[in-house]
Amino acid sequence: MPPRRPATGHFLTITEVLRLPVLSEGMPRVLAGESQLSRSVRWVHVTELLNPADFLEGGELVLTTGMPYPEDAGELRDYVDQLADVGAAGLIVELGHRYRKVPDELVAACRAREMPLVELARGVRFIDVTQTVHALILDAQGALLRRGRDIQDIFTALTLRGAGPEELVHTTAELTGAPVVLEDLTHRALVCELLGRPYEPVVSAWSRRSRAAPTLDKIAPSGPEGWLIAPVQDNHGLWGRLVLLDSRLSAEPDPEHVLVLERAAVALTMARLAGPAWWERRAHRSVLRDLYERRFRSPADARARAEALGLPAFGHRLFAVVIRHTRTGTEGEHLDERIAKALAQTGIRALVGETAPGRIGVLLALAQASAWQPVAERIGRIAREALGPKAVVAVGPGVTDLSGIARSWQEAEQTAEAITPVSPDRWFYVPADIELPELLGVLREDTRLQRYAERQLTRLIEHDDRNSGDLLPALRAYLAAAGNKSVAAKRAGMSRQAYYQRLHTIERLLGCDLESGLQRTSLHVAVLVMDAGDTAVPGP
């Protein structure tokens, strides 16, 4: 059977080397370092020297017959210490020439340093071992070089067409088959690509776990979880980190994973250097939309993602805020960034981002629930400074858990859509500010309401169209005056006699009694529905 080739770019592990036919014939038996058999073998070195460290660079699997080994236990320990200190992968001793049994002192020394120690009960040709292993290693390295060119081409193409951070991180995760997170220097997870995994077990307590994994001089397992980390730069130096969360913790990283992470980090750096990158706002926008549309698998997932982005989900009152605006020219440019900076300057934790055309969403996390009104007023002032009276700030009811924020968000959205600001002194609105006209304005697209209004008022409208009449304005004035004919006549600019005649005509055409409170209410609703349709409230 031909020797098994290692995966692209992978060095053989000690376990894989021992399974090769050229070594398995020697009946290998592991005597020490069982937990380290996943170490990579970078080369095989045959030596009978007692001081081999001068000829090693690390990662070598040392083959020996033990011919010059001393009997003294201290010298055996010194020999093992040399191998361990230089980073040798392991030691294989062939029995028969010097030993019939590996000395207990040598086994104890290897166990003390967690150095893999293997005995060969039968003799093997060391030259066959070195040729076989070296051929496989060189073949794997050649494949890694070819794969490296492919990876370089992938990220070069993404860079040339201006791919954003989401696509670059997604590509990194797909190429490695492992979750990938892009974070900034404050350890906020801006982009997470988990390849279908739930957020909660992967990014929970993200900031604490990330701080425990330092950025090393080279891409190597870092921190207690063995993350692979690559720095991402911008015009000001170090901006953040790209983190590969490979669950297969190993002393040696996958060489292909290292290549992918290096190329991805360069592509992200190029993207930041290319121009203004509002990556934080993009991250906030993505999470806000997912919360509003309830895309998270579970409340635990939603909490983990929000916390990984820096929003505390426990011990705080959460408020959804919607800012409705109509941008023209440069009006409102980067308004979400202005609001985010203003809130951050006062220590308020929030997610801020554009959630739809003409909509900016703010998710506030307040330690004191009573603080929401001054914060909402501050947001309203900033919006008015940028947009004037066009901006409407609506605040949904506070909730104690993210599982209820979608409802708060919907109420804030409905309020923002319904309200037409009339007072310059009102900086924000709440659902309680929606009265019947505003409610009907929100529901103006409902065909059932439209048909209702048509049934109630069609005869009146057709009469006005045929006769260039003013019966509908007269009815509107009467309803606005709550049935007070004298006040209504004055508002309509008519004499009482002329106005009373119009009311009589209205009753005749519609077959109704305007003195009836119920019929008057029905007509009032119909007029409000028709007015809402004619003068549409600005919406999305």
Label residue 329 left, alpha or beta by phi (over 0 means left) and psi (-120 to 50 means alpha).
left
Q: Write b or e for each residue in 52-75: b if 16 or more Cβ atoms lie within 10 A of its Cβ, otherwise e.
A: bbeebeebbbbbbbbeebeeeeee
Write the CA distances from 323 to 98, 132, 356, integer angstroms.
Answer: 83, 68, 10
Spatial contact of 56 and 45, defined as CB atoms under 8 Å apart: yes
CB atoms within 10 A of CB 386: 20
Query: Interior CA angle at 433 toward 351 and 337, to 5°?
Result: 20
CA distance 211 to 199: 19
> In the prediction, which pLDDT does 463 show?
87
Residues 297-340 pLDDT 10s: 898 999 999 999 999 978 899 999 999 887 654 455 588 888 99
Element (H, E) at 509: helix 496-510
Q: Are strands 60-64 and 40-41 parallel, antiparallel or unpaired?
A: unpaired
What's the length of the chain? 540
Determine contact, residues 540/417, Cβ cutoff 8 Å: yes
Task: Show the beta-strand stretches assigned E in 70-188.
Answer: 90-94, 117-120, 180-184
First to last CA, the chain: 68
Mark 443-465 as b/e (b = at least 16 C-beta within 10 Å).
ebeeeebbeebeebbeebeebbe
Sheet-wide strand order for 349-356: 349-356, 359-366, 317-324, 392-395
Q: Residue 177 CB: number of other CB atoms within 10 A?
A: 10
What are residue 247's phi and psi, to 5 degrees?
Answer: -70, -15
Residue ranges in 511-540 assigned as alpha helix (H): 517-534
* Cβ atoms of 412 and 396 closer than 8 Å: yes
Q: How far apart are CA 352 and CA 343, in angstroms?
A: 10
DSSP sequence for 254-268: -HHHHHHHHHHHHHH
Q: What is the mean pLDDT of the chain?
A: 85
CA–CA distance, 277 with 279 (Å, rounded to integer):
5
pLDDT at residue 2 in the model: 39
Q: Looking at the DSSP assignment, which residues form a beta bridge with residue 321?
A: 362, 395
- Identify whether the C-beta of residue 516 lies closer than 8 Å to the C-beta of residue 522: no
C-alpha 273/C-alpha 277 separation (Å) is 9
Reading the chain (540 residues) residue by residue, the pLDDT tens digits are 334 444 444 678 899 899 999 888 889 999 999 989 988 888 889 988 888 888 888 889 999 887 767 777 788 888 899 999 999 999 999 988 778 888 889 999 999 999 999 999 888 888 888 888 888 888 777 777 777 788 889 999 999 999 999 999 999 999 999 999 999 999 999 999 999 999 999 999 999 999 999 998 888 889 999 999 999 998 888 999 999 997 655 557 788 899 999 999 999 999 998 866 689 989 999 999 998 888 888 989 999 999 999 999 788 999 999 998 876 544 555 888 889 999 998 899 999 998 888 889 999 999 888 889 999 999 999 988 888 777 889 999 999 988 889 889 989 988 888 887 666 678 898 888 876 666 666 666 778 877 888 888 888 888 888 888 888 888 888 888 888 888 888 888 888 888 888 889 988 888 888 888 888 888 888 888 877 765 433 332
- Predicted confidence at residue 470, as pLDDT, reads 87
Pair 92, 122: CB distance under 8 Å: no
Cα Rg, the chain, nearest whole Å: 37
The residues near 448 (Cβ < 8 Å, ≥ 6 apart) are none
**Residue 393 belongs to what H/E stretch?**
strand 392-395
The predicted pLDDT at position 540 comes to: 29
Contacts of the segment 414-423: beta carbons below 8 A, 24+ positions apart: 414/442, 415/322, 416/322, 416/323, 416/324, 416/359, 416/392, 417/324, 417/441, 417/442, 417/537, 417/539, 417/540, 418/442, 418/537, 419/392, 419/394, 419/537, 420/392, 420/537, 420/538, 421/389, 421/391, 421/392
